[in-house]
Structure 1
């Protein structure tokens, strides 16, 4: 029986073939450059997809929350890194996980460092997150006083072990010159490594943004990379030049509920609670909340550019497709269309599970398929 016959409401489809190809490509790149690949699992959030990653030599993984770390622990990972400035209210949960699973954290201030020194019951590692221009979070790359204050506090306890410096160049999502940005990243991490590796000879440096990791070939003296979105990719990554649309591994299956032939519009059951509300802008200034693909027994087909259709608006449960003439000729109420997401991380988080093209439910940290 076709996987399509089981779908009655919005369902997030995953192509294992495309997903595995994306993982292999990044793993091969890491090996080619002598980097350890510790992918950020905030995109996939899945134990099963984690098993796919292990097939390509990946042994470490990152999580974006203590909840995700709990979900992924006990699955054979050499280490799980929580790639988010640590929340000290979660130290009891951290101690429980770290009793059986190697864990590392991100620390960006002395208060957090001191609380960890005071309350950790088992050893954990930590990276100091560095801000080299993104401006979201992290210690300024030139604030050696703050860096050294954190390191001095950590030395008070054998349970808080410094691993190195972590830099997420998130502004690669909106800066047009990724090579220039990566030169800044390399320079920042190289400078810190040279300054502190005499005292910490095993110090590691890690970078984590998907656009840079996908595009760049010169990583300098960086030791590790931890991109996340590359597992699925999405329209945002395609626009940035990090992938092709054919590399996008997930598509939201949505039922057609109405057709307006006068306006060349199709109403589908699929809105903000399914896709989230990330948006791209078309050349004419209109909004694009996702692009239409045609579902088939083997996955989906991407239309030719002249036949492209996209979600022009979304509400909570519904979306309106600006349809091409070719789509209008074939669309029928009750049939399914696929939507390539603008931001696959948010779409996957909103949906909470995946349906594979062979009809199997693929797990997700945020919920089960039956809840959707």
Structure 2
């Protein structure tokens, strides 16, 4: 059991695992001569940001201006807002004075507005869609890219940094699928560099997904990595093969409120408002999270898998093997590895370390 009392669902962060993940990715990037500019939307924590600096991370990505404000003045050389720029927030750029920042453009209309309104030095990436289909300029649409660059050039405060691709479809692919997507992204960057690098010799190409960053070794035509989930990982990443379950750095500590003998079920206080309702399907069996058992300064993964087979707003129902049923009693606290750590962290809004230190989160309040 943990050395401190847990009465309500609490997100536990294993600092050692988190730091191991950071170090591994930082070492990999450095060995491949790639800049690591991780996305902070996973942890959203000033304390974790400080850990990042221990591994020579000096540029970051975020998903909103609110998040950019949270990490402003923390010594980062640049904060990139990795989301199609929202023109309703044009005035917010002025609030980032003193903090180098870059934005993401996907169409000529917003580029023109930015060009007309921005009065301070701002960097920008053009987001490219190389197959994901969510957002970005289709890689073959040079007309839109040229128009963005043309209208932005009218404002000398705007600095073109390069091209950005987030291949979100790697999160739903197997290893062969990830390899295929990664090659498609590399080819997209190759084509873009061939066309634009003579005019913009300092442009860089940034790839932003965790599966590719974790699993691939060849990063030809890519200069920077911007993954986010790798800092915590989760069961989705483990299912893909991006990590092992032992690499998952967060677990929801959940009180046991009922043990249903004869049904092999354990009822916990821990549901959708804590974990989100992300789910993995294994042969049509739903998995909303998997059980770990807390020891004094760590958690262990049971030899026989136990998983959340259903959740509602506050309740979670675990399918438990006999060995776990014999071990767990009402009033115990067990851990749940999340399906999607980013969403779980956002739901919980703070962390406790295994030493009972409170760790901040953008959406929470330090107490």
Distance 2:94 2:204 in 1: 24
More moved, 157-166 vs 135-144: 157-166
Q: Indicate the SS of the match to 2:147.
A: helix
Structure 1 residue 130: Cα displacement? 0.2
1:355 aligned residue: 352
Structure 1 residue 175: Cα displacement? 2.6
Superimposed CA distance per residue, residues 45-66 of structure 1 (whole angstroms, 9 cap, x where no aligned partner) = 1111011111011100000111
Distance 1:257 1:92 in 2: 50
Q: Indicate the SS of the match to 1:156.
A: coil
- Asked if residue 42 in structure 1 is aligned to residue 41 in structure 2, the reply is yes
Superimposed CA distance per residue, residues 55-88 of structure 1 (whole angstroms, 9 cap, x where no aligned partner) = 0111000001111001011100010000000111
Q: Count matched residues.
A: 365
The question of whether the paired residues in 2 share the 8 Å contact of 1:352 and 1:369 is answered with: no
> What is the correspondence of 1:340-351 to structure 2 with a 5 Å cutoff?
340-351=337-348
- Asked if residue 220 in structure 1 is aligned to residue 217 in structure 2, the reply is no
> What is the correspondence of 1:183-202 to structure 2 with a 5 Å cutoff?
183-202=183-202
1:209 aligned residue: 209
Task: Provide the TM-score with structure 1 as the length reference.
Answer: 0.96
- Asked if residue 319 in structure 1 is aligned to residue 316 in structure 2, the reply is yes
The question of whether the paired residues in 2 share the 8 Å contact of 1:46 and 1:365 is answered with: yes
1:138 aligned residue: 136
> What is the correspondence of 1:151-166 to structure 2 with a 5 Å cutoff?
151-166=149-164
1:233 aligned residue: 233
Superimposed CA distance per residue, residues 215-273 of structure 1 (whole angstroms, 9 cap, x where no aligned partner) = 00000021101000000000000000010000000000000011111211111000000
Q: Indicate the SS of the match to 1:5.
A: coil
Distance 2:293 2:27 in 1: 31
- Asked if residue 6 in structure 1 is aligned to residue 27 in structure 2, the reply is no
Structure 1 residue 4: Cα displacement? 4.5
2:260 aligned residue: 260
Q: Indicate the SS of the match to 2:201.
A: coil
CA RMSD in angstroms, aligned pairs only: 1.0
Give the gaps of 5 or more residues in structure 2. Answer: none
Distance 1:13 1:165 in 2: 36
Structure 1 residue 277: Cα displacement? 0.6
2:113 aligned residue: 115
1:281 aligned residue: 281
- Asked if residue 310 in structure 1 is aligned to residue 307 in structure 2, the reply is yes
1:329 aligned residue: 326
Superimposed CA distance per residue, residues 163-187 of structure 1 (whole angstroms, 9 cap, x where no aligned partner) = 1000011111123321121111101
Task: Provide the TM-score with structure 2 as the length reference.
Answer: 0.98
1:295 aligned residue: 294
Structure 1 residue 364: Cα displacement? 0.7
Structure 1 residue 274: Cα displacement? 0.4
Structure 1 residue 369: Cα displacement? 5.5
2:78 aligned residue: 79
Superimposed CA distance per residue, residues 278-322 of structure 1 (whole angstroms, 9 cap, x where no aligned partner) = 000123x12100000001111200111xx2100000001110001
1:127 aligned residue: 125
The question of whether the paired residues in 2 share the 8 Å contact of 1:354 and 1:369 is answered with: no
Distance 2:3 2:170 in 1: 37
Q: Indicate the SS of the match to 1:130.
A: strand
Q: Indicate the SS of the match to 1:44.
A: coil
The question of whether the paired residues in 1 share the 8 Å contact of 2:279 and 2:339 is answered with: yes
1:63 aligned residue: 62
Q: Indicate the SS of the match to 2:113.
A: helix
Distance 2:50 2:108 in 1: 37
Moved over 2 A (4+): 2-6
